């Protein structure tokens, strides 16, 4: 025992000595200016240029760090490769995907296309360029005359979720897909359909129509998509977004948690991330609820074990929104979150690369999981800094 302890002590000392003597990487003399400007920008916070709060500019990094490289370990890369391969081989002939509950669902197809875009592919360009292109064809084929993009496998409650994800995927591909000139028209109508579907309480719900009560999850998703539409050159009435954000605020508790419905009581842990994204969509990253929601997510992923988190409903779905939010609030929160998320997703991933939810759906969840894993690449504008 003594010998082992002694050997351990020697090993620790040697490791310390090695760490001390390890040559440091060269220091960039030009980095000083970047650091100073970054510090100044951080003092000011997220900057808004022009009259529209959609166009946020996040402060630049304080220093040049290759943290993304460190986060994308070989193990993570293998997880990503398997998941993307799974999505590629499960794509239907018509360009869509068939999830257990949502066959040929446009929302699922939109998410899959976004997952491939997060890898760096674009329509017809890159490893998964053809997959994206076929997915876009699928989405455009499912564009309905009323403006919404939804097919036969839509949610029984209404197609707003799939419409939002489809619109988002088309928005992300629009600028790199000149051979589909109809995209602009489809998106024009899609955005208009969302705006027309705003309910009187300020939010959105599954169905298109402004009657009834909204829910926080759909509303937050829609606001987020509207913001991306604004960045793509679509005119979106800012008062509509403000009303939507107000609805989100009404669904919040002061501790940064959110209720699914305005009159509800139970706070859903899955809604923290999308709550932050919704508030950021109105250019309010300094909103008083954001630090609380952020800390709540950070606490959850610090406090609970992987097994605890796996027990939650739609854990990949909530992890996806949490990842968008934590990425935006900075490395201090993002890095520990990402590491825990990797552990969580590793526990969920099956040998063939898929991530299955508690209802047996394995496409949308795989798409969301692989977007979370690929976030360090920084190739997806929905992950914003």
Partner 1 sequence: MKPSLLTHDALVMFLVILGLGLVAFYSLLSRRESKMQRRLLPWQVLLMRAMRVGVAVLVLLALARPAISLVRTEERVPVVALVLDESTSMSFPEARENPLAQNRPLERRQRFHTAQEVVMKIQDRLALTHRVKLYAFSDALKLYKEIPLRESDDAPALSQNEIFPEEFKPTGEYSNVGDALTDTLRELSNDRISGIVLLTDGRETGGAKIADVAQVLETGKIPVHSVATGSEFPLRDLRIDEVIVDAEASLGDVASFRLKITNQIANPLETTLTLYENEKKVSTKTLRLPRGTSFVAIGAVMETEGLREFRLSLPKQPDEVNVENNEQVVHVEVVKRGLRVLLISSTPSREYFYLVPALLRDPILDLRCFLQTADVDYTQQGRSNLERLPKTTQDWDKYDVVILYDVDPNGLESSMIAGLEATVSNGAGLLVFGGFNHGTARLIQVHAAKMRGLLPVEIDKNQVLDWEKAWNKPFKVRRTPAGKVHPITLASTNEKFNEKIWENFPEFYWVHPVKGVKTKAVTLLERDGPREEGGGEPLVAIHRYGRGAVLYSAINGMWRWRFPAESYDYDRFWSGAIRYLGQTRLSGTQQNVLLQTDRRTYAPGEEVQITLRLMDPALQSQIEGQQLYADVMLPSKDLQKVPLKPEVAGAPTYRGSYRPREVGSMLLHCKQAAPNADSEAKPLFDVKHNFHVRMESLEDRDTSANLEGLQALSEQTGGTYWDHKNMQDVATLVDKIPSEPQVLSKEVQIEVWDGTLFLVLFLLLVSAEWSLRKWWGLL
CB 288 within 8 A of CB 323: no
Nearest distance from residue 179's CB to partner 1, in Å?
4
Nearest distance from residue 61's CB to partner 1, in Å?
5
Alpha-carbon distance of 362 to 354, in angstroms, equals 6
* Residue bearing tokens 């002061």: 254
CB 285 within 8 A of CB 56: yes
Taking CB under 8 A as the binding criterion, the range among 42-50, 85-93, 310-318, 343-351 that sits at the site for partner 1 is 42-50
- Residues 156, 220, 383, 158, Cα dihedral to 10°: 10
E strands, 226-279, in order: 258-259, 267-268
Judged by CB under 8 A, does residue 69 bind partner 1? yes
Taking CB under 8 A as the binding criterion, the range among 214-222, 232-240, 265-273, 299-307 that sits at the site for partner 1 is 232-240
**Which residues, 6+ apart, have CB-to-CB distance to 132 below 8 Å?**
113, 116, 117, 121, 122, 123, 124, 173
Binding mask 102-121 for partner 1 (x = CB under 8 A): ------------------x-
Judged by CB under 8 A, does residue 57 bind partner 1? yes
Among 23, 29, 254, 351, indicate the residue that binds partner 1 (CB under 8 A).
Answer: 29
Nearest distance from residue 66's CB to partner 1, in Å?
4
Judged by CB under 8 A, does residue 332 bind partner 1? no
Among 17, 28, 100, 311, indicate the residue that binds partner 1 (CB under 8 A).
Answer: 28
Shorter beta-carbon distance to partner 1: residue 219 or 281 = 281
Q: ∠ CA(102), CA(95), CA(150), 5° rounding?
A: 45
Long-range contacts of 282-289 (CB under 8 A, 24+ apart): 282/53, 282/223, 282/241, 282/242, 282/245, 283/46, 283/48, 283/52, 283/53, 283/54, 283/55, 283/56, 284/53, 284/245, 285/45, 285/46, 285/56, 285/328, 286/45, 286/46, 289/249, 289/252, 289/256
Shorter beta-carbon distance to partner 1: residue 9 or 31 = 31
Alpha-carbon distance of 353 to 272, in angstroms, equals 27
Judged by CB under 8 A, does residue 137 bind partner 1? no
Judged by CB under 8 A, does residue 36 bind partner 1? yes
Shorter beta-carbon distance to partner 1: residue 50 or 351 = 50
Taking CB under 8 A as the binding criterion, the range among 83-91, 98-106, 364-372, 377-385 that sits at the site for partner 1 is 377-385
Shorter beta-carbon distance to partner 1: residue 52 or 250 = 52
Among 127, 185, 213, 255, indicate the residue that binds partner 1 (CB under 8 A).
Answer: 127
Interface with partner 1 (CB under 8 A): 25-37, 40-41, 47, 49-52, 55, 57-61, 63-69, 120, 122, 124-127, 129-130, 133, 171-172, 174-176, 178-179, 184, 188, 231-235, 376-379, 381, 385
């Amino acid at each position: 025992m003594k010998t082992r302890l002694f050997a351990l002590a020697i090993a620790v000392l040697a490791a310390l000595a090695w760490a001390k003597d390890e040559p440091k990487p060269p220091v960039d003399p030009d980095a000083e200016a970047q650091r100073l400007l970054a510090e100044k920008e951080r003092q000011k916070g997220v900057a808004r240029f022009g009259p529209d709060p959609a166009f946020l500019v996040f402060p630049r990094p304080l220093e040049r760090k290759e943290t993304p490289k460190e986060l994308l370990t070989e193990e993570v890369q293998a997880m990503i490769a398997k998941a993307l391969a799974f999505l590629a081989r499960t794509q239907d002939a018509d360009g869509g995907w068939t999830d257990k509950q949502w066959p040929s669902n446009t929302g699922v197809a939109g998410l899959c296309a976004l997952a491939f875009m997060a890898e760096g592919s674009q329509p017809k360009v890159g490893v998964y360029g053809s997959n994206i292109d076929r997915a876009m064809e699928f989405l455009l084929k499912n564009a309905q005359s009323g403006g919404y993009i939804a097919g036969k496998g839509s949610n029984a409650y209404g197609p707003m979720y799939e419409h939002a994800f489809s619109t988002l995927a088309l928005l992300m591909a629009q600028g790199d897909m000149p051979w589909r000139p109809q995209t602009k028209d489809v998106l024009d109508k899609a955005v208009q359909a969302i705006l027309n579907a705003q309910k009187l309480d300020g939010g959105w719900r599954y169905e298109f129509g402004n009657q009834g009560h909204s829910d926080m999850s759909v509303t937050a998703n829609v606001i987020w998509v509207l913001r991306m539409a604004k960045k793509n050159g679509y005119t979106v009435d800012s008062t509509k977004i403000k009303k939507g954000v107000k609805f989100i605020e009404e669904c919040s508790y002061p501790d940064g948690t959110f209720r699914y419905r305005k009159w509800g009581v139970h706070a859903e842990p899955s809604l923290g991330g999308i709550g932050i994204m919704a508030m950021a969509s109105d250019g309010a990253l300094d909103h008083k609820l954001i630090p609380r929601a952020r800390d709540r997510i950070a606490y959850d992923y610090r406090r609970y074990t992987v097994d605890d988190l796996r027990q939650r409903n739609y854990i990949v779905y909530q992890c996806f929104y949490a990842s968008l939010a934590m990425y935006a609030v900075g490395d201090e929160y993002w890095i520990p979150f990402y590491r825990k998320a990797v552990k969580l997703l590793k526990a969920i991933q099956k040998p063939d690369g898929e991530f299955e939810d508690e209802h047996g759906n394995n496409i949308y969840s795989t798409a969301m999981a692989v977007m979370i894993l690929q976030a360090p690449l920084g190739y997806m504008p929905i992950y914003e800094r």
